[in-house]
Amino acid sequence: MKFAKDFLFGAASASYQVEGAWNEDGKGISNWDVFSKIPGKTFEGTNGDIAIDHYHRYKEDIKLMAEMGLESYRFSISWPRIIPNGVGEVNQKGIEFYNNIINECLSYGIVPFVTLYHWDMPQVLEEKGGWINKETIDAFLNYSEVCYKAFGDRVKHWITFNETVVFCGLGYLAGAHPPAIVGDLNKYFQATHNVFLAHAKSIELYKSLKQYGEIGITHVFSPAFSIDNKEENIIAAKHANEIDTNWYYDPILKGEYPKYVVDIIEQKGIKIDWTDEELQIIKRASDKNDFIGLNYYQPQRVMKNNMDEEVERNRENSTGAPGNPSFDGFYRTVKMNDKKYTKWGWEISPEAFLEGLRMLKGRYGDIKIYITENGLGDEDPIIEDEIVDIPRIKFIETHLKAVKNAIEEGINLKGYYAWSVIDLLSWLNGYKKQYGFIYVDHKNDLARKKKASFYWYKHIIETRGEDI
């Protein structure tokens, strides 16, 4: 089977991880500009001040994407570059920059797939309470309107938010992302609700503009599986899916929160400020999603938590990687001897990917799906100056095979975006953890170099994945 002509082969990036130019041309300060400079917060103190300087080198980068045959480029817009203070004045230089990116893509026939919020929030808003403050919802609505109106004549694919579970979980439970709050369940659940509401309002607004593109949200896709057939572990995995998946997908795709989690919230005495009107807006918007974006890296292997002690949660284990009890202490994720893991302890399992897609179809039906991120974080081998990232090729190949199988089973999958198009700044792992098809030489003026995977992906696109 070949992938259909309208299936998009793409690759992705995010503003803070590639752009740099953190204080140029009128850009406002973001929460990440501040957070990354707090000692001890990121790997070896790395930050996105320069990142890989995509801001100045976008032409070279997009040319390389075109050479690779990329059909679509998923990138995000930096909110503080467009509206430096979160609300109020629009920075025309910021509009110009994204116009340039979009037009450059289109000149090569590359479809721009745009994320509005990939975690870099204007610091001014963060200081006023960020996603806890309901005013941030209106500010986001205004920001999204500015973007739809400025770019919507050419951008026909929009993602409102990237991975709510990550920026809320790491921001309000693990303290590993801004605003670096630890263990605050009230704030965590409130923030997620406010984000869902902002999403709902923004897609209603988008539809009212009649730009006839498509819009959705991107979630982490990390389905939980019990480690064995013991009932207590099966219950633990169900619990994990309710908390980590259904809580995020239900309000978007069904327009309501899962009762299972709502009951837990009530039992724990957590009070979410949500009005009937807000819940109705979420309900009303749920059938306006054109697609759901899935970022799949790994599943969760789950068992009942028999440990009494909480262990430290960080980026590596709070996304479900092994060794960590859930925030409510109910279950924990474990490493299994018969599974394969990356150097950063993330399980490699295309099988769980396919199984998870089946679960998703079972719960939400035929919603259109894009895989908006999938890839291998590695330290790439360099042999005689060539970057021979064979493990990445294997990783993407086996996951594309799962995508193919899913399509053959009738799952409505319309595109695949590898993470990432080019080596970039990993939020907490600096430049050590590489994901790209294009290498960036930090010892040589950020020079770009094609990896083995670059040529391989080009071939896959040219042949529409026939050999997979």
- Say how many residues touch ligand BG6, by CB under 6 A: 15
Q: Find how far residue 442's CA is from the centre of its chain.
A: 25
Q: Strand 72-76 to strand 8-12: parallel, antiparallel, or no bridges (unpaired)?
A: parallel
Could you confirm whether 214 is annotated as catalytic? Answer: no
162 near ligand BG6 (CB under 6 A): yes
| Least CB distance to ligand BG6 at residue 221 (A) | 11
**Binding residue for ligand BG6, selected from 14, 165, 168, 170, defined by CB under 6 A:** 14
3-state secondary structure of 374: coil
Q: Least distance in Å: CB of 315 to ligand BG6?
A: 5
What's the closest the beta carbon of residue 375 comes to ligand BG6, in angstroms?
8
In 3D space, the residue among 291, 253, 287 whose CA is nearest the CA of residue 368 turns out to be 291
Binding mask 412-431 for ligand BG6 (x = CB under 6 A): -------x------xxxx--
CA quadruple 163, 195, 427, 12: dihedral, nearest 10: 50
Tell whether the torsion through CA atoms of 381, 383, 386 and 388 is positive or negative. negative
Q: Nearest-CB residue to ligand BG6? A: 426
| Of 53 and 373, CB closest to ligand BG6 | 373
Examine residue 163 and tell whether it contacts ligand BG6 (CB under 6 A).
Answer: yes
Q: Which of 201, 315, 392, 404 binds ligand BG6 (CB under 6 A)?
A: 315
Which residue lies nearer to ligand BG6 by CB, 132 or 170? 170
The nearest distance, CB 12 to ligand BG6, in angstroms, is 8
Specify the DSSP element, H or E, that contains 278: helix 276-285
Instruction: Find all residues with CB under 8 Å of 338, minimum gap 6, and list them.
Output: none
- What six digits make up the tokens of 153? 């004549």
**Contact by Cβ (8 Å): 291, 213:** no
**d(Cα 394, Cα 236) in Å, to the nearest integer?**
32
Which is catalytic among the residues 104, 126, 242, 373?
Answer: 373
If binding is defined by CB under 6 A, does position 166 make contact with ligand BG6? yes
- On whether the CB atoms of residues 106 and 155 are closer than 8 A, the answer is no
- Is 310 one of the catalytic residues? no
Annotation: binding site for substrate: 17, 118, 162, 297, 419
Could you say which of 286, 295, 305, 453 contacts ligand BG6 (CB under 6 A)? 295
| Catalytic, out of 163, 242, 278, 347 | 163
> Which C-beta is closer to ligand BG6: that of 17 or that of 164?
17
Residue 397 CB, nearest distance to ligand BG6 (Å)? 19
For ligand BG6, the closer CB: 164 or 305: 164
* Euclidean distance between CA atoms 440 and 430, whole angstroms: 13
User: By CB under 6 A, what part of segment 374-393 binds ligand BG6?
Assistant: 377
Q: Applying CB under 6 A, does 225 fall inside the site for ligand BG6?
A: no
200 φ/ψ sector (left φ>0, alpha ψ -120 to 50, else beta): alpha
**Burial call 261-279: b when 16+ CB within 10 Å, e when fewer:** beebbeeeebebebeeebb
Which residues would be at the binding site for ligand BG6 (CB under 6 A)?
Answer: 14, 17, 162-163, 166, 295, 315, 373, 377, 419, 426-429, 433
Catalytic residues: 163, 373
